[in-house]
Amino acid sequence: MSISADFSSSSVGPQSNLESTPSDDDIWAKTGLTRLFKGSQKKCSGYIDIDQSIRACNELNKRAPEGIRFDSAGLTLFLREGTCSAMALNFAALYLFRESHSYQNSDKSKIKHVKQLKAIFSKSSKEMRTQQAAFNTIEVMKSPNLDHSKQKIQGLAHLHQLKITQCSKELVIEKTTKEDLRKEVESLLCGVYLLRAIKPAQNSKLEEYGHSTILIKETRYSIFYDPNEGAFLILNQLPFFMAYAAGKLYDDFKTNQLRFYRLELLQT
């Protein structure tokens, strides 16, 4: 399962309903965009620690939600795909942990915490490959009564002691307008979200490939982390930015299904 995509590789094309083709200058000007740190998935392909991956699969299976399992028999010594889900969930967990142990709750301190994550998330690593390899063994046992998309993400999130507390609707990009997305983004509570974009498929994972990013939504600003690009501060027009990002993913990679998952730390 490929889980890598670069939403910045070209401008939004006419196939997406979400946004007419804005220039990069438009995006930066309208959203007050500021890069907090530059990132990439450099080193996302390479050898893994297979013993650690097996242990991760075992841990994931212990807490797997209904309809989800991880088959360590599918592990290989070399990962040839991206590590966006491992990087995104690690980013969310570390940010939430630091926030929960912070004596300050100001906007300035929260933005500072994101900047401090640069040392870990400016590129991928063997640790991220090892976690991603375990994630890639996920299998879905379909049932008419289960929210399979949510179960999949919850299954992965358990490795980092995270739980899903809110989900958006599943947005089908070909049928989603800018107004649809605006309403969905504005309805999201403040918090930390995994944004998962996929190309659905009828296989054991229910997807051909996809891409994972993180949105931190606050009252006066938002932060967007893409493992391919790094972290960005967004001061204005969050729905406009999200339409741009989602539209690029769709036009470049045909990831035509999109959903937001609000994450919190599990109480231990």
Closest listed residue to residue 132, CA positions, set 185, 88, 192, 162: 88
The reported pLDDT for the residue numbered 250 is: 87
The reported pLDDT for the residue numbered 20 is: 52
The reported pLDDT for the residue numbered 11 is: 31
Q: Please classify residue 255 by burial: count the beta carbons closer than 10 Å to its beta carbon, then call 0-12 exposed, 13-18 middle and 19+ buried.
A: buried
The reported pLDDT for the residue numbered 22 is: 62
The reported pLDDT for the residue numbered 12 is: 35
First-to-last C-alpha distance (Å) of the chain: 32
Is the C-alpha dihedral spanning 190, 191, 197, 198 positive or negative?
Answer: negative
Task: Please tell me the pTM assigned to this model.
Answer: 0.91
Mean pLDDT, 10 residues at a time, the chain of 268 residues:
33 48 76 94 94 98 97 96 96 95 84 95 96 98 94 98 96 91 96 97 95 97 96 96 89 90 90
